[in-house]
Structure 1
Amino acid sequence: KRISKMSKLSAGLLDLILEQRRQSDQQPIVQILGSKIMSNNHIRAIVFDGQTICQHCIFISSEIDQQYSDGKLQKFTIIRLKQYSLSSIPKKDNIPVILVQQIDILRNGNEINRRLKPNESIDTEIVTESNEPVGSDIRNETTDHQSDQPSNRKQNKNNNNNNIRPENITPINVLTPFFNAWTICGLCIHKSQIRCFASNQHAGRLFTFDLCDDSGEIHIVCFNDECDRFFNLIDEKQMYFIGRGMIKMANKRFTSINNDYEITLTKSSFVRPVCNDQNQDQIEIPKMRYKFVELSSIVDIPANTMIDVIGVIRLVYDMKTLLSKKTSRQMSKRDIIIIDKSMVQVRLTLWDYNAENFQGQPDQIIALKGVIVNDYRGKILSTRDTTHILIEPDLPEKDLLKLWYQSIVEQNDLSINFKCLSSDQSENRNDNFNKKRYIASITSIVVGEVLKFQTNATIIGFNSIKYHMYKSCASSTNQCLKKVLENEDGTYQCLKCNEKSINFQWRMIIQLFLADCSGSFYVTIFNNQIEQILKKSVSELATLIQTDENQYLKILNQIIFRQFSFNIYSRNDYYNGEMRLRNTVIQMNELKSKKHSSNLLQLIQTMIN
């Protein structure tokens, strides 16, 4: 309802605010004596409370900006400061600044056209939903605060620190190095592990975490003592109050957060879980912001660029252990293949903690924030410590991607050739397979030459399962895949690397018996193709072979009498003094009846013409 009454300016209350002696529920009535738009598009106003003039009152909300554009904040306008906080400008002798997020306009300046005198009453009105008096005289309240005993003021200050009021929270998007007195509240969307660092000047340890609210997001760094102090307190998907940190320009080499500034916590900083605060019910949980890029556009993105992507997990490879050439540090690595609606598949490499703790499975949706584009034999993606990984995220993009992928599954059309952006491993050997051949035409091949071709055939059998897996070299330096020999002392010897190790790596190799209308022959498939057609990882299949052969055979029998399109290269090799034809599958996709029939009709039409 609209309330009208006689009110006065809140004489003396600006002094209490600027000297940080005010209570949290005070809402001063002031008069605007002048205003201008600053270089950062915020509005700076000179305000007067009947006794004190503050020349640094800055409006930082879009709602107030609109009111200013509509001409409602002209000179001599009477306003109430409903939500505000105090900061300072370090480069200008720490001049105090009042940052205002919300106001009430009590009287337009055109109706006054002069500066009010001290203690002068004026008729004010405002539309409100409550029955509380609006525009009341705050002089008596101010007098009461000034007469408080020091012990009472100290007690009030402690109470304010224990319970942070929502109106005193500073939005993340307005933080700058000019802020000193601020408190932010946000959701922890990512937390790194503790890592050590060393430079010519100093060494130490650190961890980082990212915080977001409804206005934006920011990167926060904790060094040494603060690292030990806050690491166990911070958890992902929890809300925190944070204050008294040092704001500086963000180092974009170590963060993907969309903010020009970052926070470094110091000895005077505080971090408080929202769940321990009495006002937690008044604080809404914000959602993380993404700027997703289609996988097809990665080819045009420069290397070392941070992006956000979302896709469907197609394959998950086993974790490997490598030795860093630069630091000689042992590293964990895991590759996964993701696809999206742009019909592109990309190899994503997870490192260390992300590789060791990855729980994603094929056919699940994965969202990544702050993943790096690398250029190694084509474009690939790579995670870093600050990359945020979410499986089955609660996002509208996930729902759309899920519907698209389900439509492919329902049409049984997973054999679609997704474009590969990298040429590593099997992805670089799919060229020059355009020529189609029947099996019976693969007869004489000159020794040393390789014949590449494509054929459509039916799987009618496979070799004995006791030959389906072997122990291979687990070398982390040259990624050797050769078979190892088991020594009497329980170690494994690789003849190629000439290395002895207590570890080995399971690898799979299956001989498939194929047939078409012209004949039949055996082909060899390895890890990648086996994982693709059986929809299981090599480690899972190896476990089944050793523990439950019947279940393994049941999985294998699912591909019997199914037709596939095979990309094969064949060559003649000498083996134990005999010439043998070896046929190796590079890629295989299941044939779909409708699509295959259309291709045959097109072929017939071409022959007729």
Structure 2
Amino acid sequence: IKTWHNKNGEGKLFSCNFLDESGEIRATGFKEAVDQWYDVLQEGSVYYVSSCKVQLAKKQFSNVNHDYELTFERDTSIEKAEDNEGVPQITYNFTTLADLQSVEKDTTIDTIGVLKEVGDVNEIVSKTTSKPFSKRELTLVDNTGYNVRLTIWGNTALNFDVPTETVIAFKGVKVSDFGGRSLSLLSSGTMNVNPDIDEGHKLKGWYDAQGRNDTFSSHANSMATTSTSGRNDQMKTIAQVRDENLGMGESTDYFSLKATIVFVKSDTTFAYPACLSEGCNKKVVEVAEGEWRCERCDKGWPNPEWRYIMSINVSDHTGQMWLSLFDDVGRMVMGRPANDIMKMRDEMDNGEKEVFSNAVCQTYVFRCRAKMDTFQDQQRVRYQVSSAGPVNWSAEGKKLADMIKQYSLSDNDSLFVN
């Protein structure tokens, strides 16, 4: 049940999906209909429904692919059917994790994956209502070689008790471009643990056979070197970045760099305590034990949300350089949220060293910007990573093959000196 408050008053509503052999349709009840029907309708039961209002679907609020939707009216009739035989099961139209990059932002989809990680419950405050609500981040993987973060909310987040390595099917998740691609379970969405469907069985078989030991890529950053603003970020070597004096002028310079991480600074500056208010992310100050305060929001929290603000040293065949990166890229590089590492540090867990060690010797394509910065009265160029992604070795091989073709060698020519 959802509530609303606006200049025209206040009220409450709920929605449900009806399924028959022809497809699905969404139905919504407002105010008195909530009291009348919310406790009557039970998932998995069969009903005879009549005298509903039919109108064009508001697809931004729906997880059903239907052009129309129903509204419960005062004379709506709902009767439970005793005969449940022949009732169709929930239908899915799954999008694989690899295909998320081609899905438009704010699209509602279905997806299925193996639960790889479960985050802690965090409480954040809504900007619009100033009310606190709970969220929990899950990490899913599938047999396309990708992982993705999926956020669940409210009681679903609080009551979530599914072990890792479990297959979960989600119906009605919203696609976001935050951090490349991420997902959010809508209030109208559903979650089916260990679904008895072909896709679920195949996914479980793949994970048990090989997926458990696979390495997964993230959408936290596409491999394209053209930004959303249309700017073309040319691929450079470290030597070219320095020789061309990128960032030394008045404007910001942009470039892409294929390099390998050789060192990650693991001192106390790799993360900062951030405000939990939605969209804030400002640094909070510990004013007393178990009390952190955000001066911007003027709110207090028992614990902060730790966010990455890291420095890494990278290398290619021409040299080395330092890069700065923030939370989205940090999560990809480290393979987990900063909260997990800070918890290890507080508990003196030796696993912290392993996490930093595993981040080294990994190769990525970094999309960077170079800009002159002043630090302690000294000017220097700062190289900041805006996004990163794994190397597409197939595309890399094609590019090298095209470079070789530019030499226009005949069959009798050789690249080697006799």
**Correspondence for 1:239:** 45
Letter in 1 for 2:300: S
**What is the deviation of 1:553?**
1.1
In structure 2, how many angstroms separate the alpha carbons of the residues matched to 1:362 and 1:431?
A: 40
Change (3 A) 1:251 1:579: same
2:364 equivalent to 1:557: no
Partner residue in 1 for 2:111: 310
313-322 vs 577-586, which deviates more? Answer: 313-322
2:91 aligned partner? 289
Letter in 2 for 1:239: S
Q: Give 1:517's match in structure 2, choosing from 298, 317, 328.
A: 317
| Change beyond 3 A, Cα 1:210–1:505 | same
Question: Quick one: structure 1 residues 375 and 204, their matched pair in 2 at CA, closer, same or farther if it must change by over 3 Å?
Answer: same
1:200 Cα deviation after fit: 9.4
Aligned counterparts of 2:228 and 2:177: Cα–Cα separation in 1: 15
Q: Which amino acid aligns with 1:454?
A: S
SS at match of 1:533: helix
Secondary structure at the residue paired with 1:286?
A: coil
Q: Which runs of 5+ in 2 are unaligned?
A: 410-418
Output the CA distance in 2 between the equivalents of 1:602 and 1:413: 28
Matched, 1:414 2:178: no
* Partner residue in 2 for 1:486: 286
- Structure 2 residue 18 is matched with structure 1 residue 211: yes
Partner SS for 1:432: coil
Q: How does 1:107-506 map to 2 (within 5 A)?
A: 194-196=1-3, 205-221=12-28, 227-228=34-35, 231-232=38-39, 234-236=41-43, 238-240=44-46, 242-243=47-48, 246-250=51-55, 252-253=57-58, 255-257=62-64, 258=66, 262=70, 264=72, 283-284=85-86, 286-291=88-93, 295=100, 298-299=103-104, 307-310=108-111, 321-325=124-128, 329-330=131-132, 368-370=170-172, 384-390=186-192, 393-396=195-198, 414=217, 428=228, 431-439=231-239, 442=242, 444=245, 445-446=247-248, 448-476=250-278, 479-487=279-287, 491-492=291-292, 494=294, 497=296, 499=298, 501-502=300-301, 504-506=304-306
User: Which amino acid is the alignment partner of residue 212 of structure 1?
Assistant: L
Offset at 1:455? 3.0
State the alpha-carbon separation in 2 of the partners of residues 565 and 420 from structure 1: 7
1:385 positional shift: 3.3
What SS class does the counterpart of residue 487 from structure 1 fall into?
A: strand
**How far apart are residue 557 of structure 1 and its match?**
1.1
Per-residue deviation, 1:508: 1.8
Amino acid at match of 1:321: I
SS at match of 2:217: coil
* 1:404–1:580 distance in 2 versus 1, CA, 3 Å: farther
Deviation at 1:197, TM superposition (A): 5.4
Contact 1:452 1:569 (C-alpha < 8 Å) held by counterparts: yes
Give the Cα separation in 1 of the matches to 2:366 and 2:193: 33
The verdict on how the C-alpha distance between 1:546 and 1:431 changes in structure 2, with shifts beyond 3 A counting, is farther
Asked if 2 retains the 8 angstrom alpha-carbon contact of 1:247 and 1:261, the reply is: no
TM-score when scaled to structure 1? 0.49
Secondary structure, counterpart of 2:235 in structure 1:
coil
Asked if the contact 2:148/2:219 (under 8 Å) is kept, the reply is no
Shift of 1:214: 3.7
Cα offset, 1:558, TM superposition: 1.7
Identity %: 22
Find the aligned partners of 1:606 and 1:369 in 2 and give their Cα distance.
50
1:380 & 1:601 partners in 2: Cα distance? 34
C-alpha distance 360-295 of structure 1, shift in aligned 2 (>3 A): farther
Aligned residues: 395
Partner Cα distance (2:51, 2:113) in 1: 40
**How far 1:541 moved relative to its partner?**
2.8
Does residue 371 of structure 2 align to residue 571 of structure 1? yes
| Aligned-pair Cα RMSD in Å | 5.4
Query: CA deviation digits over 1:368-400, x for unaligned, max 9?
Result: 545568999x99977643233446644445677
TM-score by length of 2: 0.67
| SS of structure 2 residue aligned to 1:239 | coil
Is the Cα contact below 8 Å between 1:364 and 1:391 reproduced in 2? yes
Residues in 1 aligned to 2:229 and 2:206: alpha-carbon distance in whole angstroms: 28
- With over 3 angstroms needed to count, the CA separation of the structure-2 counterparts of 1:337 and 1:449, relative to structure 1, is farther
Deviation of the 1:525 alpha carbon: 2.6
Distance in 2 between the 1:591 and 1:296 partners? 16
What letter corresponds to residue 487 of structure 1 in structure 2?
V
Matched, 1:541 2:346: no
Equivalent residues of 1:307, 1:372 under 8 A apart: yes
Take 2:20 and 2:403, find their aligned partners in 1: how far apart are those partners?
Answer: 59
Deviations 1:476-520 (A, max 9, x none): 4xx33343333358654556x374534532112232222333332
CA contact (8 A) 1:513 1:523 kept: yes
Would you tell me which structure has more strand in proportion to its own residues? Answer: 2
Residues 394 and 451 (structure 1), Cα distance of their counterparts in 2 relative to 1, 3 Å cut: farther
Find the residue that maps to 2:188 and give its secondary structure.
coil
Q: Distance in 1 between matches of 2:274 and 2:187?
A: 31
- Give the number of the structure with larger relative contact order, counting CA–CA contacts within 8 Å between residues 6 or more apart: 2
